[in-house]
Amino acid sequence: MAAKIKIATTSLAGCFGCHMSFLDIDERLLKLADIVEFDRSPLTDIEHCGPCDIGLIEGGVCNSENVHVLREFRSHCKILVAVGACAINGGLPALRNFFKLEDCLLEAYQDGIGVDNPQIPNDPELPLLLDKVRPVHEIVKIDYFMPGCPPSADVFWTYLNALIEGRDPNLPYELVHYD
């Protein structure tokens, strides 16, 4: 029997919506389980991924921990896919890029509406924020970009099947129009 393809996923600065959409492939997960083995993913309890064939990465890069996790993930995955708008271009978290980091912190923790007990977190254990939220391709080499916010379950299914079969993914128009 052929060795199973190993797939891992991780989330950086995202909302986990892309992962939820992946799980929406529903009963097709059972078909997938016949041919793939999941490393780090929502389906397993693995914290650090080992060598994998395909890595799916959700979310952009907003702090030093994201950079570390992304570099480690890249080093373990033969094929790395940026999944969704946040990974591809920073997405919603990148809206803070229109402002200075200092102003964002002041608004969130000191001057903003509803803040009682103003205090900007400065515990040394907290990862340092980057000046801007970055798309993942600015930090590591990305092999493929899966569009959407989130990509639909059918996009995940189409994309993964192509990669598993060794083809470049080619999404039909009905899967990539958003009107």
Binding site residues, ligand SF4, CB under 6 A: 14-15, 17-18, 58-59, 84-86, 91-92, 149-150
Q: Is the peptide bond before 150 cis (omega within 30 degrees of 0)?
A: yes
Between 52 and 133, CB nearer to ligand SF4: 133
15 close to 144: Cβ distance less than 8 angstroms? no
105 close to 96: Cβ distance less than 8 angstroms? no
Between 39 and 58, CB nearer to ligand SF4: 58
Task: Give me 8's structure tokens.
Answer: 């891992």
Query: Least distance to ligand SF4 from the beta carbon of 89, Å?
Result: 9
Query: Least distance to ligand SF4 from the beta carbon of 111, Å?
Result: 26
List alpha helices for 9-92, DSSP H: 17-23, 28-35, 64-76, 84-89
Between 5 and 155, CB nearer to ligand SF4: 155
Query: Least distance to ligand SF4 from the beta carbon of 145, Å?
Result: 12
